[in-house]
Amino acid sequence: MIKFFLLSLIILTSSSWAKKTGELLPEGKSEKLKDEFIKHTEKPFAYQPTDGIFWDELTQFEKKSEYVKMAEFALDQVRRFGEASDEGKEALLAFALALHHMRLFSASYHINEKLAVEKNGTFIGAFALKLISEADMADRVDRVRLESLINNNEFSGLHPEIQSFVSFYKYFYNLKFNYKKWAQINLDKVKEATFWRYKIIYLEALGQIARNHLAKGKQILLSLIKLEEVPAEIKTRANIQLARLSFEEGKLEDAFNIYSTIGRITNREKGRIELERAWTQYYLKNYSKALGILTALKTPFYSRSITPERYVLEMVIYKELCHYGAVEKAAQKFKKVFGPSLSRIKKRKPLRDDPILFSMAIVDRPLEVQANVVHFIRLEQERLIDLGFDYEGMEQIYASLKNHEKGIRERIDFQLEEKAREAANELLDIEEQISFIEYISRLDALKILEEKQEDFYRPERISHVKFNKIYWPWTGEFWIDEVDKYQTLISSRCENESNGKEGEVNFE
């Protein structure tokens, strides 16, 4: 680190001196120093410990993934040296690192936030910021608190990898207040081919789409997806946006294929994506597959992503296939699930306390991230109590987590006022759609079916002579690795006798 600071100082000083005197260092020496500086900054960040022996022993636990022992070893060092000493602060950093490995990100953040400020300009402070940046990449950080930390402090002596993270937030902070010059300075500090640079490019694509420059936005998204070095998290977000654009353009096969490649996302968002996949199958007239996806959405895994829209789609499909009894059943299910929420809306009771309306409102991405952070903070509190670390500062961590949860919850509640009203209006609109589909379905059921010229829908045929594919009947038990393969083998009842009867077995 000292070498890094000296190299920075020499280059900056020689540059300043040249401006004042018009003289330069000998060309060979200057170029050598410059090359050495560039090589240093291009290497990944490497922590230089205060107590090398302690850190070597700590990394042995880390290599074996023995993170609880790692945390206890770090706390022994804290007790030995005290929190005020450099050795003690390094031990706290080690404890935060162990918590980070255990995915207790909020507890780790509590420690790292203090160390980043108190040990600013040192390896300890830089490593603390690095851990915060990794938690942020995983969407496990309260970004309001994080933005306050970064924008209210000037962090110095950072490796370009960590400086990119800090400058990313400062860039958008300056843009927010139209400080374009300062924004550009920070943008220049966000290193190429880093997570944060790619995230800026992704957000630029969203900006182009928001301004209705769809072709340009799509081009940027495609460029991100094609680059191998782009982080998986950003590729996932780019794929989601690209699939939605393809759907809007009527490129349904492309949209479905892109949806099918989407990587790891939260259960709540995954449910929304599955519903969008079901819509693509409906418009492609793959009714069996669409109904299979809707069946999969009934799993407890997707309980947080409940939405009334899935009942609309289910009823529309059954109506098109003339399964009028199934239309009625779907309508009754809708009333059973959403009836209490509709009653609350109509009686003008507080909306934000309703769990269904809450789930519908949280579909908003920024709100969802905050809600997930609250959820994980609660889980962390339980886990920390179970672990029972012998450390005086644990009470302070518990209090910090409790206050942190309360603060985020208050912010969510404030935003939920408007979002819950929007969700309530959406639910009332869908109730009208459900009633209309139900009414039309009853009328159609009373009509004498006229002979139609179109090809009537039939599902995938089950062969009784080939055994390259096996079908298992669904009995109400869900296996998460199989839900993507569900199909409802349903035939159209709209055909007359000349076109065949329902239940007819077809051989290949």
For 383-397, what is each residue's pLDDT tens digit? 999 999 989 899 999
- Which of 10-14, 106-110, 481-485 shows the lowest per-residue confidence on average (mean pLDDT)? 10-14
Gap between the Cα atoms of 292 and 276, Å rounded = 13
pLDDT at position 4 is: 35
What's phi and psi for 481, nearest 5 deg?
-80, -5
Gap between the Cα atoms of 385 and 398, Å rounded = 9
Q: What residues make up the domain containing 323?
A: 289-452
Q: What is the mean pLDDT of residues 198-214?
A: 94
Amino acid making up residue 67: Y
Q: Which residue intervals of 178-231 are DSSP H helices? A: 180-189, 195-210, 214-226
pLDDT at position 40 is: 54
Structure-block tokens of residue 409? 């919850």
- Which of 90-99, 235-244, 439-448 shows the lowest per-residue confidence on average (mean pLDDT)? 439-448
pLDDT at position 457 is: 56
Q: Is position 355 within any domain?
A: yes
Question: For 22, which DSSP code?
Answer: S
For residues 297 and 439, membership in a common domain is answered with yes
Q: Is position 119 within any domain?
A: yes
Q: Is position 16 within any domain?
A: no
Q: What is the mean pLDDT of residues 355-360?
A: 85
Pair 336, 321: CB distance under 8 Å:
no
Gap between the Cα atoms of 324 and 502, Å rounded = 14
For residues 439 and 308, membership in a common domain is answered with yes
Residue whose pair of structure tokens reads 């990587």 in the numeric block: 263
Q: Is position 376 within any domain?
A: yes
> Among 178, 213, 240, where does a domain finish?
178
Has residue 35 got a pLDDT over 80? Answer: no
Q: Is position 334 within any domain?
A: yes
Of 42, 21, 157, nearest to 13 (Cα)? 21
Gap between the Cα atoms of 108 and 70, Å rounded = 14
| Number of independent structural domains in the chain | 2
Has residue 42 got a pLDDT over 90? Answer: no
pLDDT at position 483 is: 56
CATH number at residue 55: 1.25.40
Pair 351, 345: CB distance under 8 Å:
yes
Confidence grade of residue 278 (pLDDT, cut at 50, 70, 90):
very high
Confidence grade of residue 365 (pLDDT, cut at 50, 70, 90):
confident
CA 265 to each of CA 199, 349, 375: distance values in angstroms, whole numbers, following the listed order: 17, 33, 15
Over its C-alpha atoms, the chain yields an Rg (Å, rounded) of: 29
Q: Is position 55 within any domain?
A: yes
Digit-coded pLDDT (tens) for 221-274: 999 999 999 999 999 999 999 999 999 999 999 999 998 888 778 777 888 899
CA 126 to each of CA 38, 109, 149, 163, 494: distance values in angstroms, whole numbers, following the listed order: 19, 13, 14, 9, 68
For residues 162 and 299, membership in a common domain is answered with no
pLDDT at position 475 is: 57
> Among 178, 203, 218, where does a domain finish?
178
pLDDT at position 453 is: 44
> Among 452, 483, 501, where does a domain finish?
452
Q: What is the mean pLDDT of residues 494-499?
A: 49
Confidence grade of residue 495 (pLDDT, cut at 50, 70, 90):
low
Question: Who contacts 274 (Cβ-Cβ below 8 Å, separation ≥6)?
Answer: 293, 296, 297, 302, 305
Q: Is position 159 within any domain?
A: yes
Residue 466, SS3 per DSSP? coil
Q: Is position 335 within any domain?
A: yes
Gap between the Cα atoms of 194 and 229, Å rounded = 9
For residues 296 and 441, membership in a common domain is answered with yes
Pair 496, 453: CB distance under 8 Å:
no
pLDDT at position 463 is: 53
For residues 174 and 298, membership in a common domain is answered with no
Question: For 497, which DSSP code?
Answer: G
pLDDT at position 9 is: 29
Has residue 213 got a pLDDT over 90? Answer: yes
